[in-house]
Chains A and B, each alone.
Chain A
Amino acid sequence: MTATADIASYNFAYLDEQTKRMIRRAILKAVAIPGYQTPFASREMPMPYGWGTGGVQVTAAVIGPQDTLKVIDQGADDTTNAISIRKFFQKTAGVATTTKTQEASIIQTRHRIPETPLQAGQIIVFQVPIPEPLRFLEPRETETRKMHALEEYGLMHVKLYEDIARNGRIATTYAYPVKVEGRYVMDPSPTPKFDNPKMHMSAALQLYGAGRERRIYAIPPHTRVVSLDFEDFPFEVQKFDKPCALCGAEQVYLDEVILDDRGGRMFVCSDTDHCEERRAAGHVGELAEQPR
């Protein structure tokens, strides 16, 4: 029973140092070539592929004891997978955690970018399921690699244009492709296109980790990120008819919540921290409990 007794001992932030070095080298190249998907030898992690292993590996390679970590899924700190990943780093790295966007030095996210603008010095780590923006147009890696090498992105424009021809509008609502610094077309991960403008000229460093697909890519701060569009069909983000029912915020992304069996529904902030901060500051939505 020798091996089994040793299982409990893992390195700081779980990964062994050789793996961290490998990931760190990939991250540095990714930062040097914005939007390019850098291959890395992704490891099996103690959570399933598809559940954030890429993001977790990137965070594990970057994080140190001085960091404060925030983890969100769907914009919320209290979704189960966000809790699970946050606990993983509390346990393996002993780092401080927070739900407040402004207090975090590293934010790991799935499907959202916080509403509060990110600041210099912050790193946002995205969990990416399918890093290849061309994958659903061309399933072969050998082909898509050529397209990126030759900067041959006609297929993507054709797809978007077919959308317009068929539906009268671009029918891509999330994972909406962007062009980074005028060169690489990149998948922003399945964030709603509402968040795309936040990627442009962000003050924070954006790192993207795709574990199963073994790719890391990055957008340095102050980098041009343009959502693909056409002159006569410019890119536009979702608009909501009503403000958040709890905090009254406008121009934020809202979740639809079903209230009863009779079709009653309300719209509330997807970014739970943003909503809480606003309510703490006295903002009140139409369905919020009135302060006494």
Chain B
Amino acid sequence: MYVAVKGGEAAIDNAHRLLADRRRGDRCVPALTLEQIAGQLALAVDRVMAEGSLYDRELAALAVKQARGDLIEAIFLVRAYRTTLPRFGYSEPVDTGAMVIERRISATYKDLPGGQVLGPTFDYTHRLLDPELAGDGPVASGQRREAEAGRVRRVSEILAGEGLIEEDGAPPEDGAIGDITRTPLEFPMDRQSRLQSLARGDEGYLLGLAYSTQRGYGRNHPFVGEIRIGRVDVEIEVPELGFCVPIGRVQLTECQMVNQFKGSAKAPPQFTRGYGLVFGQSERKAMSMALVDRALRAAEFGEDVVAPAQDEEFVISHCDNVQSTGFVEHLKLPHYVDFQAELDLVRRMRADFDKRAGGSQDHKEAPE
């Protein structure tokens, strides 16, 4: 007598209970606070905000905690939350030229107005594990200098003075900025929609694609014109008032990649640009985004589209880690109905094969 398996509901409840238990871990150890996560795992929180497309440190910290440190899971939690939020309006474009700079470096000039500001970087640390950090020893506060007054000119503006670099892309003439969260993707895309997709794209995926362009799969001769990290005001226009009001400040990482371009029949030789902009502090992501952005502009500059990183449909369709992880992991779901259909087919084809094999053997033996 066969009894079908039941009790899926209880199994799910028990699994969730066990998950909560494992997440909490040893009860003798104090639970992490959101302040600790936001304050001390700040770059994990930044990544969740960036790829979750929601600038809220507290919620991102909660997501990191709830996801047991699995950042893609945390990004998913934040996305699923943000999607239900009402849309009150769209901000004005932020002015990164007016950024309150915490870090700003250029690889194309030794020195430049505004200076090279290293800021809180891992760059020149020796990657030696630091046993001191296992404890909670005193840490000196950062050395501060007087903030420069006024704008710190962007390197692209400096180059633009000589006419040696392409201009800032102009917003569309009808003023309509797309919104990839509200409109289904349509290929070919315009650059602004592509940049929106890349901004929430998976860091690891974009890093791999960016790296591939450096190794010759769509090489685009990049220089880091500038990376800047800091805070900018977000403003919205209030129609009733007729002017813009700041509604908050966000930390951003911006990367302007400067790329050699030999010119074409239509365009003079000049530098072209790849652009990366990410919530929080994430140079790796901003640089990767800039390299991929430039690679995806191949057709615009009349370059041959030959490498994966230059292929818009390929890059954009697969850059979202919430989509990717869902579909890869859905293979865990039962597929036994379809498998049954395949099993039946393979059995029948196998029977045909065996019959044919048997038949040809008879045939071989016949002449003897």
Question: Given known contacts A168-B352, A270-B337, is B8 in contact with A83 (CB within 8 Å)?
Answer: yes
Say whether B58 faces chain A, with CB atoms less than 8 Å apart: yes
* Cβ 8 A contact of A50, one of B58, B84, B317, B330: B330
A78 touches B327 (CB 8 A): no
Q: Is A162 an interface residue (CB 8 A)?
A: no
Closest approach, in angstroms, between the C-beta of B328 and any C-beta of chain A?
Answer: 8
Type the 1/0 row for B77-105, where 1 means its CB is closer than 8 Å to any CB of A. Answer: 00111111011000000000000000000
Contact A43 B83 (CB under 8 A): yes
The verdict on B121 contacting chain A, using a C-beta distance below 8 Å, is no
B residues 3-29 touching A (CB-CB < 8 Å): 4-9, 11-12
For the complex formed, measure the closest distance between the CB of A272 and the CB atoms of chain B, giving whole angstroms. Answer: 7
Which residues of the partner chain A approach B56 to less than 8 Å between Cβ atoms?
Answer: 3
Given contacts A44-B322, A73-B333, A75-B337, contact A10 B84 (CB under 8 A): yes
Q: Mark B324-341, 1 if CB is under 8 A from A, else 0.
A: 011111100111111011
Contact among B81, B82, B337, B345 with A111 in the assembled complex (CB-CB below 8 Å) = B337
Across the interface, B313 reaches (CB within 8 A) one of A1, A50, A141, A268, namely A141
In the complex, A173→B58 CA distance in Å?
49
Query: Which residue in B62, B79, B337, B349 is a CB contact (below 8 Å) of A74?
Result: B337
Give per-residue flags for A183-217: 1 if the beta carbon is below 8 A from chain B beta carbons, else 0: 00000001111100000000000000000101000
Interface of A is mostly: loop
B12's contact among A19, A41, A84, A246, by CB below 8 Å, is which?
A: A84
Q: A44-B76, A80-B11 are in contact. Are A1 and B58 (CB under 8 A)?
A: yes
Contact present for A78 and B2 (CB under 8 Å): no
How many Å from the CB of A268 to the closest CB on chain B?
Answer: 7
Is the Cβ of B188 less than 8 Å from the Cβ of A14? no
User: Is there a chain B Cβ closer than 8 Å to A51's Cβ?
Assistant: yes
Q: Is A39 an interface residue (CB 8 A)?
A: yes
Cβ–Cβ < 8 Å partners of A93 in chain B: none
What is the minimal beta-carbon distance from A187 to any residue of chain B, in angstroms?
A: 13
The yes or no answer to A254 lying at the interface (CB within 8 A) is yes
Closest chain B CB from A213 CB (angstroms): 9
List CB contacts (< 8 Å) of A1-31 with chain B. 1, 3-4, 7, 10-11, 14-16, 18-19, 22
Q: Which of A80, A87, A173 is B345 in contact with, Cβ under 8 Å?
A: A173
Interface of B is mostly: helix
Residue of B nearest to A174 (CB): B338
Q: Is A228 an interface residue (CB 8 A)?
A: no
Decide if A129 touches B330 in the complex (CB within 8 Å). yes
Closest to A46 in B: B80
Chain B interface bracket (under 10, 10 to 19, 20 to 34, 35 or more): 35 or more
Alpha-carbon separation in the docked complex, A270 to B2 (Å): 15
How far is B323's CA from A169's CA once the two chains are assembled, in angstroms?
35
Name the residue on B nearest A289 (C-beta): B1
**CB closest residue in chain B, given A78:** B8
Write out the residue numbers on chain A whose beta carbons fall within 8 Å of the beta carbon of B84. 10-11, 14-16, 19, 43
Cα-based distance from A245 to B4 in the complex (angstroms): 12
Q: Is B148 an interface residue (CB 8 A)?
A: no
Question: Is the pair A142, B4 in contact by a Cβ cutoff of 8 Å?
Answer: no
B237 interface residue (CB < 8 Å to A): no
CB of B334 within 8 A of CB of A73, answer: yes
Is B343 interfacial (CB 8 A cutoff)? yes
Asked if A142 and B8 sit within 8 Å, CB to CB, the answer is no
Give the distance to chain B from A14, nearest Cβ to Cβ, in Å.
7
Known: A171-B345, A259-B2, A272-B4. A142 touches B58 (CB 8 A): no
Q: Is the beta-carbon distance between A193 and B341 smaller than 8 angstroms?
A: yes
Set of chain A residues within 8 Å of B8, measured between Cβ atoms? 78-80, 82-83
- B56, B84, B325: which has the most chain A beta carbons within 10 Å? B84
Q: Which of these, B5, B317, B333, B337, contacts A112 with CB under 8 Å?
A: B337
A174 to B340, CA, bound (A): 10
Q: Which residues of A contact B82 (CB under 8 A)?
A: 44
Q: Is B167 an interface residue (CB 8 A)?
A: no
The reply on B187 being an interface residue by CB < 8 A is yes
Chain A residues engaging chain B, CB cutoff 8 angstroms: 1, 3-4, 7, 10-11, 14-16, 18-19, 22, 39-46, 48-51, 53, 73-75, 78-84, 87, 110-112, 129, 139-142, 167-169, 171, 173-175, 190-194, 212, 214, 238, 245-246, 253-257, 259, 266, 268, 270, 272, 287-289
